[in-house]
Structure 1
Amino acid sequence: RRKRGLRIAALEKLGNGWELAAATDAALHAVSVVNVAAFGADIRGPLLLDELEERASDAVDAASDTAAAAGVETIRKSVGRDVSIHDGILAYIDEYDVDIVVMGTHGHTGFDRYMLGSVAEKLVRSSPVPVVTVRQPREE
């Protein structure tokens, strides 16, 4: 019986997910989750969500292209909507039987972390699979 290969879910900007996939001959899933709860009852909500979903899709496509240039095939590209990014990622892990998650983190501390929360921290604490975090450069 053939053993199923390693499945890596790399979140949006991939972190170094494609490098890990290349080194382990793993199946790569490029994933992004748009937080629908962030807009509440804002009348602009649907338009903003569509724009965010389009940006997320562009980021997933770019990440997939980066992986492809390194010879790594992305077997699934996904942009989902959920009540929280954290919950959306956990649902994806469960639905697609992911073995490891690779994600970027901005390394917010202090007040920024308190106000923005930390998807990476929540995921590290609650994920049923290992989570590798890669520090992303700060955007100006």
Structure 2
Amino acid sequence: MYDDILLPTDGSDAADAAVANAIDLASKYNATLHVLYVADTTEYSTVTFEDAVTDPLEREGERVVDDAVARAEDAGVVAMGVVLHGGVFETIQAYVDDEGIDTVVMGTHGRRGLGRALLGSVTERVVRTSDVPVLTVRETDDDGAA
């Protein structure tokens, strides 16, 4: 049913909450887990500072991806990680299409009302527009409550 599962991550607590679920799903279906970090370079348009901006984004992305891949491999799941540049939503959608992803597992902050309206949500956009199933995992507080 699922051969390739995508776990987009930004290293946030919400994204981290999705890691265990993605690993569990990949394990159950003997699927390959693709861990993706998108260095959002759309916010920085000046060519002069490109390396000064992208290098730290890449380093953070590599750290986050390496951690999730290691966790997956420790659980016996085949995993691969990639750090890409661009708009987060657009890059996730392109990766799904280009790599033949069967399902996406993403964290969500669970914002409501004005906070949701003002901040928007990459996860929400992926859910609304994806051609493949999207499993959302809500960030929990320290007590385990969602």
Q: Please confirm whether the aligned pair reaches a TM-score higher than 0.5, indicating the same fold.
A: yes
Measured at CA, do residues 110 and 44 of structure 1 come closer, stay the same or move farther in structure 2, by a change above 3 Å?
A: farther
| 2:127 corresponds to 1:124 | yes
Query: Pairwise mapping of residues 17-28 of structure 1 onto structure 2 (< 5 A)?
Result: 17-28=22-33
- Give 1:42 deviation, angstroms: 8.8
CA RMSD, 1 decimal: 2.3
Residue 91 of structure 2 corresponds to: 88
- Give 1:47 deviation, angstroms: 1.6
Residue 109 of structure 1 corresponds to: 112
Q: Distance in 2 between matches of 1:102 and 1:23?
A: 14
Measured at CA, do residues 40 and 138 of structure 1 come closer, stay the same or move farther in structure 2, by a change above 3 Å?
A: farther
Q: In structure 2, give the amino acid aligned to 1:64.
A: V
- Give 1:50 deviation, angstroms: 1.7
**Which of the residues 62, 78, 82 maps onto 1:78?**
82
**Which of the residues 65, 68, 82 maps onto 1:63?**
68
Give the TM-score taking structure 2 as reference length.
0.81
Where do 5+ consecutive residues of structure 2 fail to align? 10-14
Q: In structure 2, give the amino acid aligned to 1:56.
A: G
Query: Pairwise mapping of residues 30-69 of structure 1 onto structure 2 (< 5 A)?
Result: 30-41=35-46, 44-69=49-74
**Which of the residues 4, 7, 10 maps onto 1:10?**
7
Q: Retained in 2: the 8 A contact 1:106–1:138?
A: no
Q: Distance in 2 between matches of 1:116 and 1:46?
A: 27
Aligned sequence identity (%): 35
Once superposed, which parts of structure 1, at least 4 consecutive aligned residues long, lie more than 4 Å away?
Answer: 42-45
Give the TM-score taking structure 1 as reference length.
0.84
Where do 5+ consecutive residues of structure 1 fail to align? none
